[in-house]
Chains A and B, each alone.
Chain A
Amino acid sequence: ETGVTQSPTHLIKTRGQQVTLRCSSQSGHNTVSWYQQALGQGPQFIFQYYREEENGRGNFPPRFSGLQFPNYSSELNVNALELDDSALYLCASSFRGNRAEKLFFGSGTQLSVL
């Protein structure tokens, strides 16, 4: 167990809907990153949050947005869902500035868009 928890574990939505995924970071970690993993692919970086602000973003459209709260937990919001958004969404926590530390991932949220 990594101490990073994600909810829900599975989610089914229809095209055009909106979804919110949640992540609680490991104790002592102040940075949360979100990744999207399509079937058979490696995870792709969506964005990272540090001290409640976005700190870097991958090649994802603005309908992917996020929040980080004072307790360092985080949400990923996706608006106007598309079929290609079906994927495993992974959250990872870390302590900014300590690059000698492994990145700790949650078990992910499996999103299916029908």
Chain B
Amino acid sequence: KQEVTQIPAALSVPEGENLVLNCSFTDSAIYNLQWFRQDPGKGLTSLLLIQSSQREQTSGRLNASLDKSSGRSTLYIAASQPGDSATYLCAVDGATNKLIFGTGTLLAVQP
């Protein structure tokens, strides 16, 4: 049974700092991995999707990496801003768009 874990559960950093969020999964037989952002009480916004054959994806200040063999992914956020404050969720797809989510990392960027 696939399990997804995210560390840390919460993170507080000063504005401008670079940071890394971690995601691990137990079954390496995945089709893709997605990182999402969720603002309080809101839906999910997809940030990056990495196919199982890819090693990383970049969008602006965000970079996500994937190491399938070790069951790990990282989300790197460069030059963090207060507007980046949110919960970040990773999810793996082991079947047609049926995602298994981690519990998220709550990020607070202090001005």
Contact = CB atoms under 8 A, between A and B. Distances in A.
A107 B51 CA distance: 25
B86 interface: no
A25 to B, nearest CB: 12
Contacts, number: 75
B20 interface: no
Interface residues of B, number: 26
Interface of B is mostly: strand
A86 B98 CA distance: 22
B93 A99 contact: yes
A56 B98 contact: yes
B49 interface: yes
Contacts of A99: 31-32, 51, 93, 96-97
A42 B95 contact: no
Give the interface centre of A55, A58, A102, A106 by most chain B CB atoms within 10 Å. Answer: A102
B100 A45 contact: yes
A43 B44 contact: yes
Interface of B: 4, 31-32, 34, 36, 41-46, 49, 51, 89, 91, 93, 95-104
